[in-house]
Chain A
């Protein structure tokens, strides 16, 4: 009876994981296909990777996606962290009302945010392009940074900052040396969230960009009508990079902690 249940469990979870990974595996396998077909594997080749690096449209899009994600992450992380620290100190009514407005881009369906920003840029007569895409990305990433950082700031002991300032630290020193080191995990989580949100975004970028500025999602979207294995190659590269980053992110801290622990033990001995 017990064993039977366990096998049912393994089967069910296995089927679910298969469902989640099957398309990714297909994508990776057929990116090495010799022919253009996405159903029949005729031989191994790096052909599509080669054509990927000759495709300037795709390469430009990768550049746009990466640069926007990096700049938007940096700006929104700084802006969001400063705001979260300030919010934790401000009056309740200010905090509540700002958080309510801050929640708007998170709660709104993405397409509504996209339309709203598009209307704004055309109203303000800002020409659609790289700048508008960047501004829009900062606008939808910052709220997530704030929701990640604020709980950490609230857990802080307020006396620590007071103590630092009593001991002669300037407010800026207090911020950099006392407050920020303590809320680092929240900031990192927020930054990571912002980066993935920005890198994966399609709808908002689609509505606010123009003049030939395209990110990866927009290029993929425009290619859906004619299947192109180069997209598979690109997706496989992205998949490998993400897996690699995840592995490093999961195991490096673990190894570091272990080494530190060993060192400390040695010192004690």
Chain B
């Protein structure tokens, strides 16, 4: 079987060229600035000191706030749904899970596009408000619209892993808990919820991380000047053309996100108490849950 070992070489080269080198370029740009006539680039830490700028701090704060709110709403809405689906009959469960997965197959921009007409000032929702005698509300291009858009797009990624962990649970534990005299509420918090924690963590990862680095949804539903960290990076590269500062922001975002994922992974391992079967496999598990 050793004959096949050599086959790893093409992908090694590919990975080096299209993953390692590009990431190193980000690091390179982040630590340099446009140099003098003699050297084209010179080393600097200035790109990182710019972070203390109040404008940037407010962008960062806003991204975190919207990310947390989106994750919170997705969890509060998604957990009960996952729980209720897990209580249904097997065939009903398959159909419901399929129904929840289908929207994720449709282009994110197209799905978000129709929210524009629903939320706009003379949009469907406002027409409805008028019909029942309420004043029209300005919704499009506000935080509310952005959160609605993100919850709409990311909710399935919260429901699916939680549902998976709920159905994998050993049902006899629930019976045991009830036999030993626990109330349904006690059973839920001490058994069901604890055992579904790994699914919850996966769900939080799959919602929180894309929502803090989101870039299209805030731009479409939040309006042009709306700035989250993703929009900020785009601005630096496309409009302003300061690749060095843009790279520094990207680098920070990447380190933050990957660090957070590592932390969540460790927490997941602790709650699971199970030995992960393979190196590098945890993430693929999360993603496999995502595709189902």
Contacts and interface: CB of A to CB of B under 8 A. Distances in A.
Interface in A140-199: 142, 144, 147-148, 150-151, 154, 158, 161-162, 171, 175, 189, 192-193, 196, 199
A24 B106 contact: yes
Nearest to B156: A20
A9 B99 contact: no
B106 A239 contact: yes
Greatest chain B CB density within 10 A among A16, A102, A175, A193 is at A16
B287 interface: yes
Nearest to A82: B7
B102 A112 contact: no
A94 B13 CA distance: 14
B250 A112 contact: yes
Nearest to A11: B84
Contacts of B98: 246, 250
Interface string A106-139: 1111111101111110010000000000011001
Tell me the dominant secondary structure on chain B's binding face: helix
A55 interface: no
Given A107-B258, A161-B1, A115 B117 contact: no
Contact of B233 (A111, A135, A216): A111
A63 interface: no
A14 to B, nearest CB: 10
B113 A203 contact: no
A103 B287 CA distance: 11
B6 A96 contact: no
Contact of A39 (B109, B122, B212, B281): B122
Contact of A220 (B109, B251, B288, B291): B109
Contact of B14 (A107, A142, A171, A207): A142
Given A16-B81, A39-B122, A196-B105, A27 B110 contact: yes
B81 A13 contact: yes
Given A221-B109, A221-B216, A108 B257 contact: yes
Contacts of A111: 213, 215, 230, 233-234, 250, 253
A57 interface: no
B55 interface: no
Interface string B48-62: 000000000000000
Contacts of A232: 113-114
Contacts of B261: 107
15 contacts: A13-B85, A13-B96, A20-B155, A24-B114, A79-B14, A83-B10, A86-B6, A109-B254, A116-B250, A117-B18, A139-B19, A175-B4, A199-B107, A200-B108, A224-B219
| Closest 5 pairs between A and B when the two form their complex, measured CB to CB | A147-B284, A116-B22, A99-B280, A109-B213, A86-B7
Given A112-B250, A115-B247, A235-B114, 16 more contacts: A20-B156, A23-B118, A87-B8, A105-B19, A109-B257, A112-B251, A113-B22, A116-B23, A116-B250, A119-B29, A120-B18, A150-B278, A161-B1, A193-B291, A220-B107, A220-B113
Interface of A: 9, 12-13, 16-17, 19-24, 26-27, 30, 38-39, 79-80, 82-83, 85-87, 89-90, 92, 94-96, 98-113, 115-120, 123, 135-136, 139, 142, 144, 147-148, 150-151, 154, 158, 161-162, 171, 175, 189, 192-193, 196, 199-200, 202-203, 207, 216-217, 220-221, 224, 227, 231-232, 234-235, 238-239, 242-243, 246, 250
Interface of B: 1-8, 10-12, 14-15, 17-23, 25-26, 29, 77, 80-81, 84-85, 87-88, 96, 98-100, 102-103, 105-111, 113-118, 122-124, 127, 152, 155-156, 209-210, 212-213, 215-216, 219-220, 230, 233-234, 237, 243, 246-247, 250-251, 253-254, 257-258, 261, 278-281, 283-284, 287-288, 291
